[in-house]
Amino acid sequence: MAITHQFQATVQKRIKTDAKFRLSLLTEAINCLIHGEFTIGKAILRDYINATIGFTKLGTLTNKSSKSLMRMLSDTGNPQAKNLLEIIAQLQKIEGVELDVQINES
């Protein structure tokens, strides 16, 4: 099922106005990546970046072109771990948070 433009706009508006929601999205994106849901994780990161700092500013912070970053996080993008972790590190700095991995026994 395709996401409508209206839904996308609603999510982006909420990201801009709700800090708790914004942080939850960043956390969910990282959780998806850790659990092998790369397509979903990259999609959430794209939405997060578009609604917050944008790819141009992220490119400046990471010394990468905005187009290269967009390609990395596209549906077919295959970013190297180094690049992905650098993106996540910059997003954490901007948010003023430090995300940690926890071990949960099943």
Is the pLDDT score of 88 beyond 80?
yes
Amino acid residing at 97: V
Number of residues that this document lists for the chain: 106
Residue 31 neighbours by CB under 8 Å, 6+ apart: 41
Is 96 within 8 Å of 89 (Cβ atoms)? no
CB atoms within 10 A of CB 74: 14
Percentage of residues in the chain with pLDDT exceeding 90? 74
Enter the pTM of the model.
Answer: 0.85
Interval 37-71: pLDDT, tens: 999 999 999 999 999 999 999 999 999 999 999 99
Residue 54's alpha-carbon distances to 51, 62, 67, in angstroms, are 7, 12, 11
Residue with tokens 């430090």: 98
Tell me the C-alpha distance between 14 and 48, whole Å: 10
